[in-house]
Amino acid sequence: MNKEPIIEVENLTTRYGDTTILENVSFRVSRGEIFMLLGASGCGKSTLLKHLNGLLRPSSGRIIVNGTDITAADEDTMREVQKTIGVLFQADALFSSMTIFENIALPLYEYTDLTPGMIDRIVKMKLALVNLPGYENHMPSELSGGMRKRAALARAMALDPLLLFFDEPWAGLDPVTAAELDILIRSINTAMGTTMVIVTQELASIFGLAQRVIMLDKSVRGIIAQGDPTELKEHSQDLKVINYFNRKATGGD
């Protein structure tokens, strides 16, 4: 794995009104890494993910994505950065009025000058990659939850992004489909070297996939642990980390 950082977060602080969600958070994600953001509900994982993919701007601090400081980027620079980013949202976010083909082809038509024939080939190849061959003319409503997730992943990968962000990709999937998604994520990461940043609570996938994790906590408004998840589970002294990885109740906080 390449140790060169693709994301650098420095002293990120974010506030909603008077409430501070994250304070002085700093970490790095290496190129080609499968990196996960963990923590209890409401600790700011999804907020942090939205900062990393440019959907939110922090109150202070810097986020450098692939060499560009996106906290200071203008609209054009941000658009260039976002072309190198793919996002898979928790609720798949496929456009319900478009077919699966149109959903995946949309960024290709908008951002490239490829011929319709070439776009057709790319879309079909992406569909085969996510194990949905032949589904190009289906509407999103005609697919199951797991199939929609995979179609959304194909759309997120349409422009061959350097970075893929996932927000709770396993939420609502049955164990078999979740395991299939694990295999898909791993094979894309291995074959294409795409960096993956994943927000999740799915312990099996955390231990199966993550090369490095950070764990956020509401009480400190930041990171309480980071590193290899198996090592954290075995060696962490922090009760919250131990309880999280061992799926133990804390008795409320």
Partner 1 sequence: MGLNGRASPIQYNSTRFKDLFLTHGLSLIYILYYKPQTPSLFGEIMKAPPVKKKEYSLRVEDREPGDVILFVSGRIALDDLNDFTSDARSILQNKPLKKLMVDIAGVNYLDSAGTLALFQLEEEQTARSASVTFHGVTDEAKGILNLLDKKAHHIPPLVPERKPPNILEQMGEATRLLLNDFFEVLSFVGELILALISSLRRPRSMRWNDVLYYMKRAGVDGLPIVGLISILMGLIMAFMSSLQLKQFGANIYVASLVAIAMVKELGPIMTAILVAGRSGSAFAAEIGTMIVNDEVNALKAMGFEPIQFLAVPKLLATIIVVPLLTLYADLFAILGGLVVGVVGLDLTAYSYIQETREGIAVFDIVASLVKSGVFAGLIAGIGCQRGFQVHEGAESVGTFTTSAVVSAIFLIIIADSAFAIILNYVR
- Residues near partner 1 (CB under 8 A) are 96-97, 99, 112-115, 118, 120-122, 124-129, 133-138, 140-141, 157, 159-160, 187-188, 190-193
Q: How far is the CB of 225 from partner 1 (least distance, A)?
A: 32
Q: How far is the CB of 30 from partner 1 (least distance, A)?
A: 16
Give the nearer residue to partner 1 in terms of CB position, either 25 or 153: 153
Give the nearer residue to partner 1 in terms of CB position, either 18 or 113: 113
The answer to whether 196 and 1 are in contact (CB under 8 A) is no
Q: How far is the CB of 102 from partner 1 (least distance, A)?
A: 11
- Count, residues in the chain: 253
Q: What is the DSSP string of 66-118?
A: TTEETTS--HHHHHHHHHTEEEE-TT----TTS-HHHHHHHHHHHH----HHH
**Tokens read off for 168:** 């709770």
Give the nearer residue to partner 1 in terms of CB position, either 187 or 230: 187
Partners of 69 in the β-ladder:
64
CB atoms within 10 A of CB 65: 25
Q: How far is the CB of 182 from partner 1 (least distance, A)?
A: 15
Give the nearer residue to partner 1 in terms of CB position, either 79 or 248: 79
Q: What is the DSSP string of 44-58?
A: SHHHHHHHHTTSS--
Q: How far apart are CA 188 and CA 173, in angstroms?
A: 19
Kindly state the helix (H) or strand (E) to which residue 16 belongs, with its residue range: strand 5-16
Q: How far is the CB of 98 from partner 1 (least distance, A)?
A: 9
Q: How far is the CB of 66 from partner 1 (least distance, A)?
A: 14
Give the nearer residue to partner 1 in terms of CB position, either 46 or 112: 112
User: Where do the H-state alpha helices sit in the chain?
Assistant: 45-52, 75-83, 100-111, 116-129, 145-156, 175-192, 203-209, 229-235, 239-245
Give the nearer residue to partner 1 in terms of CB position, either 158 or 214: 158
The amino acid sitting at 95 is: F
Q: How far is the CB of 54 from partner 1 (least distance, A)?
A: 20
Give the nearer residue to partner 1 in terms of CB position, either 117 or 252: 117
Nearest to 25 by CA among 54, 50, 60: 60
